[in-house]
Chain A
């Protein structure tokens, strides 16, 4: 039959080759391809689970590169000038001379919060009024409709009004607006201002007028919140950073705050970095979850291939040869997943810029950032390969004896040193990526540890469930329920995998949702507790009695009436502020606490939302008290490095007032009411020039509009914040943010569903065999249905319960330590999750197993073998 001997030295060197040569040999890949014949579709689905994670990473990475490039291209438009100098007081002639001496092209801007009134629609609204003089912006432009309006308002008068504001009140170009004593015509719709985001504009819509018009409005009275800006455009030979360093002492003397393109870029870069790090972490979670799916897929695949491996070993295949075949399959599918994921990511990234447009202060063109896509592909492939290797190691432990004895089991993985090595590499890979994605290594470490804890708790829960159902099988249960429960702990069960995927998916979604609800509830709760939803401010002392009368005449309550006195610090613990700032060790990063304007109040009682944490509260002093006992907010006391008993001197509009820290307060800043760093006792500041803040409650939009109209008509300098409107705006902004987060979380959820399908498929073969056997023995479709229902529903419910509980813990931690607000537990969405997850599991499970119920047993057996 055969004419030449086969056993020659030249034909038998296969096992002497290194593993790499086996891996690269054509036979290995041919065998891998042949071996995958019956399981290609299933394997592809499994590897689909990493596609979403890689797609998210590729899309987000590419977006980051787009933003960086756009920022570099348009950096000067972020500020609109080379240098901006801001003051809270009007520039004095001396300061103006000094500013002029700095040279370059210059512009001035004055901005303040004020009420505007639209006579045609009879509506009022708090706006940020900007008055411009000069050619600002020098870089980028005020985008208006009609475009000529951006120049027209400076020369011929008229107002540019924010697009959102016009939409809100149904106003249009040509209408008139009133601000203070000024009546002006709207000459254009304002669409974009260099360096500012649409989100910011939603909170305080902008109106631009000329400097002359602002003067006519007569709004710049004592106590109003006004900012003064000087903008500079220098020649290309001016080094702005050096200039700022040179003039810094003078800037500090004048209490001016400089802003340069570089600083703006740095700040923006930091926030964009944070955004992209956060989004990347979401993508990474999807990838990790996908990794779990891949590991489970390979685990089941290999389990089904143990017989083939044993036969190959019997026929003389070496450990390296057989391992190489299955590694080739894992590698090919990982590559396929990485390539498809990247392609999907490129498609998706076209959507992201549009979704994030409101949060980014410049427009940018979209392009595909190949390095970012390549990086996502590489990371995705590496993670997929690491997750593949873990279950693949089983191949190395398959004895050829298994071909003779079908019941032969490979030795436990824990005894294999390579198992520990690969596990360590996997942990190191996850930690390394988490660190790479985080600005702060502690955040990365915390994230990796947190993820490890969640994985750990879910694993322990799954193991406990298996142990409990094994140990405490309830004999009294009907047969079908007993079978369903037993499926949770039987060999080849999906308990661990399903609990991991369902629990992790639920955890991520619920954490995001609960944090969002907690933040919103905080605002709503403040409104309900105080019954206050309208704040009137900038009320002069001379107007206070009349404003109160007006409010009462409209049948509205005056819930709070707080005086506000502007002052500055002149010395701390006996040292002059100038000396502290220019001394040997000037405080770094907290300079503003020395320079800022303090808007303080006087009161004989602690206000709502305040708690005394140190010292004694002093309610009243006589007006001849030399050193006034004051109460400081604990955060500002920490920044000023003062405690109870330390002395401060305030400059109250030219009058020095010595003070001693008598107490420290904790202030709930997120309450919608005036809050103060410094509270004086009664008896000292009553005669100082003050403005008043008044809080009332309006029960409807109409009542609010009527009150605003009356107040603005009689007291044009008084500003009103309608908290209902603010709440609506904040809600809309949070809605936009949460939409972006949910869009990204969708990757995780889709991956979760794929992993769920994969997890259900892993045990499908065995469940089908069992179900067919039961059907052959006479089980009805209803009985099979009940068995599967019990198994899937138990897993879904426990996954949802564990995930939700972990989410409550995580959301509580975030609320307490990151957002510093009280955690709000919302039972309805939690109950919805507890219902939705098991239902999703059951539905998916039935879709996977429908052939068992719809077809005759023999047909299924033939098609499944």
Chain B
């Protein structure tokens, strides 16, 4: 499902270029769950950004769902994201002007699909928010916002889901509820899961752990 080969990312700086990711390689089969762990500044977010085609590497390459991301232009990568990728962010990243229901419908609407309301309502009900359809993000708690984000991530039945610190902004109890929902949806839809986390317990629930330090893989188990 995901194949990463010799991935390197450098940024130009005042005193020369800064390499934030060095020669990272790994692969994940379909429906697997993988946790990327490591201290702050170790390159975790950069790695999933590159894996999801949000940015281009300085060297190396990524194959996602059998497609070489380097061979696609920005709109091609966007199309791939729309059809094969789901996202869950640490800061939820709901669109503040849309209701919970509208936020969930957006990925399908971007494809040009109409009549997606029922699917969105069903997903929101699955994450326990059937009564909160017309609420705006500012009217929801952090846990509720993250569950809306989960429903949005799964509405396009992604082949792979990237979650960046999904419980980072939540208390332990709410975090656990969100993670349970995440794994349940993962199991139901057979989605490959890539998690960035500091949470050792959460990392243990994944079949594969990749530990990063200073931009390089120090442990891949």
Contact = CB atoms under 8 A, between A and B. Distances in A.
Interface in B84-143: 84-85, 87, 89, 91, 93-98, 102, 106-113, 119, 122-123, 126, 138
B185 interface: yes
Interface in A265-323: 307-308, 310-321
Given A1-B188, A7-B84, A404-B89, A318 B75 contact: yes
Contacts of B84: 7
Contacts of B83: 6-7, 12, 316
Given A25-B112, A401-B54, A404-B49, A34 B102 contact: yes
A184 interface: no
A12 B107 CA distance: 11
Contact of A317 (B48, B78, B102): B78
Nearest to A310: B93
B123 to A, nearest CB: 7
B22 interface: no
A314 B96 contact: no
Given A6-B156, A403-B87, A14 B111 contact: yes
B55 interface: yes
A174 B83 CA distance: 97
A311 B156 contact: no
A235 interface: no
A22 to B, nearest CB: 9
Interface in A299-354: 307-308, 310-321
A634 B189 CA distance: 96
Nearest to B98: A34
A307 B93 contact: yes
B169 interface: no
Contacts of A314: 52, 54, 81, 87, 93
A37 B89 CA distance: 24
Nearest to B149: A311
Interface in A1-48: 1-2, 5-7, 11-15, 25, 27, 31, 34-38
Contacts of B23: none
Task: Give the one of B85, B113, B152 with max A CB within 10 A.
Answer: B113
B97 A35 contact: yes
Interface in B156-174: 156-157, 164
Contacts, number: 121
B180 interface: no
B5 interface: no
A14 B83 CA distance: 11
B204 interface: no
Nearest to B184: A1
A31 B107 CA distance: 12
Given A11-B112, A315-B110, A319-B75, A1 B189 contact: yes
A864 B97 CA distance: 13
B68 interface: no
A441 B82 CA distance: 54
A1 B87 contact: no
A391 interface: no
B19 interface: no
Given A14-B110, A404-B54, A316 B81 contact: yes
Interface in A813-864: none
B199 interface: no
A315 B82 contact: yes
A406 B189 CA distance: 30
B54 A315 contact: no
14 contacts: A11-B111, A12-B82, A15-B75, A35-B97, A35-B98, A38-B96, A38-B97, A308-B97, A314-B81, A316-B110, A401-B54, A404-B45, A404-B49, A405-B45
Report, nearest first, the 6 A-B pairs whose CB atoms are least far apart. Answer: A316-B82, A7-B83, A37-B97, A316-B81, A318-B75, A400-B54
Interface of A: 1-2, 5-7, 11-15, 25, 27, 31, 34-38, 307-308, 310-321, 399-401, 403-406, 865
Interface of B: 45, 48-49, 52, 54-55, 74-75, 78-85, 87, 89, 91, 93-98, 102, 106-113, 119, 122-123, 126, 138, 152, 154, 156-157, 164, 185, 188-189
